[in-house]
Amino acid sequence: MICPLRASLLEVRPLLREACMERLVHAIGDALAQAVEGAVLGKTFNEMGAILLCDHTRRLSDALSSLLVSGSTRAEFSRLNQIAFLLNAGSVAEAASIFMSGGTAGLTGADVGRVLTLRIDFSAAEVRDLLPDFEDDGGQG
């Protein structure tokens, strides 16, 4: 997905002022991050899937950042990176500890709970026990 997008952006780069190109890349990064987040929240993950999500998210962000003269698309991908990071936790307790220490600044307790229930090996009951803000909607667990 990223190669054709990157190629298209490289084609228009000479036609745009630097500031316009920067805004375009940031806007595309924001839209992609939101779209991927929406897709991620509709899936379930095992440990390997969580690792792949983290890797692919990083590659997408890095590819878009490489088109910028300065800065990165880190801000646009921050929520998605936090979601991928939580999904990579070894246990619900580890993820809850990350959340409690402020490692997921862009996510609420309810968000963290919802994300953790996407891992097929994490139970909704354990998530509820460790994250009081989480209200299970009867979905997975």
Instruction: Tell me whether residue 16 is in a domain.
Output: yes
Looking at residue 136, what is its pLDDT?
62
The answer to whether residue 137 is domain-embedded is no
CB atoms within 10 A of CB 121: 10
| pLDDT profile of the chain (141 residues), mean per 10 | 87 95 97 98 98 97 94 96 95 91 84 95 92 63 42
pLDDT of residue 139: 47
Residues near 71 by Cβ (< 8 Å), separated by ≥ 6?
22, 65
- Residue 136: inside a domain, yes or no? no
Distance CA 55, CA 101 (A): 24
Rounded Cα distance, 51 and 47, in Å? 6
95 domain residue, yes or no = yes
Q: Does any domain span residue 139? A: no
Whether 70 is covered by a domain: the verdict is yes
The pTM of the full predicted model, rounded to 2 decimals, is: 0.87
pLDDT at residue 135, rounded to an integer: 67
User: Contact at 8 Å (CB) between 99 and 109?
Assistant: yes
Q: CATH number of the domain that 121 lies in?
A: 1.20.58.1970
Report pLDDT for 1.
66
Q: Domain of residue 110: give its range.
A: 2-130
For the chain, how many structural domains are there in total?
1
Per-residue pLDDT at 106: 87
pLDDT the model gives residue 84: 96
